[in-house]
Structure 1
Amino acid sequence: MIEHQNLKQIIFASLGIAIVFVATIFIRIPNTIHGYLNLGDGFILLFASILNPVFAFLVGGLGSGLADIAGGYGFYFFFTLTIKGLEGLIVSYLIKNNQSSKIRILAYLLGSFIMVAGYLVADSIVNQSFWLGLVGVAGNVIQAAAGFLIALFGFPILKKIPYIFK
C-alpha cells in the first residue's frame, strides 16, 4: 500500500507535470530571435519547492518535454527532459531540508542558471555552432527571470495552503 506522503508526492507531481505543460504550451510568447518564451519555469521552481528531487525532476523534464513535442519542437525533447529535469531536481535537493528564504532564493537562481546554461549547450549542438547557440541566451535569461519571479511570489501563497506542508 502507498503511504500517505508518497501518495501526496505522486498526486502533486502529476498535477505539476500538467501545469508545467499548460504553462509552457499555452502561455507562449513568440520570440523573434529564437523559438518562444514561456512561463513553465516558474511552475517547475514552485513544484520543486514542495516535491522530493525525483518527482521534481519528472515535473520539470516531462512537463516541459511533452510541451516541446506538442508544440513542434520534438527534436528538443531529450535536451529539455535533461535540462528542465535537472532544474527541478537540483532546486528540490537544495531546499528539501532547509526552507529558509535565502536558501530558496539561491536554489531558484541556481535552477534558473542551469536552464540558461543547459539551453546554451543544447542550442549550440542543434545549430552546430556555439555562436548560434548564444542567440537564445537573452530570451532564456528573460524566461528565467520571469520564472524566478513567479516562484518567488508564488511560494508564499503556497505556504498558506495547509495540506501542502502537512
Structure 2
Amino acid sequence: MSAYAIPDGAKFATIKFARRDGNVYTLPPGSPVIVAALRHDPEHGAGARELTGFKPIYALLDTGADFNFATPELIAEAGCPQIDTARLRSASGWIDSTKHVAHIFLPETGSQYETDVFSSPLIDEGGIGQSLIIGILVIKSGRLVMDYKSNIFRFYVS
C-alpha cells in the first residue's frame, strides 16, 4: 500500500494546473485540471471495448461543486441527451439550465463515468473559464491526492 492507502499499481490521472495566462503547468499555482472527454456512450457498461471519437480537453476538478457542469456547446458536441430542466445558483445569480446524461472519460486511465451534467456558460468575470467542471459526483468515485509538500497531484480511479 502507498502512503495514501492506495493499492500499489492503481491507475491515476495526473493533475495539472491551469493559470490565467491560458497555459497548463505541472505544478501549482493554478486551478487543478485533468485531461477528460465529455461524451454520450449508449454502450456504456457493455464490457471491454476500444473507445474512439472523443475530444480530450482539460477539465477543472472542483471539490466545491456538488455536480458536474459543461458549456452548452460542449454538451451539444458530445451529443448528451437532455433528461430534465433545472434552475442553478451561480456566482452572479440564478440561471436556467438543462440536465443531461453524459459520460466523462479519462483517457489516461481508460475509466469512464456515467453521470449527470448540467449546462452552464462557465465563464468567470475575467472572461476565462473551463468547458467542463468535474464535481463531487465523479470525484467521490476515486481518490484525490493533492500533496503540495511532495508535489504529488493525482486522481486515482477504482
TM range (shorter): under 0.3
Instruction: Identify the structure with the greater strand proportion.
Output: 2
**TM-score (structure 1 length as normaliser):** 0.24
TM-score by length of 2: 0.25
Between the two structures, name the one with larger relative contact order (CA 8 Å, sep ≥ 6).
2
Q: From the two aligned structures, give the one with the greater helix fraction.
A: 1
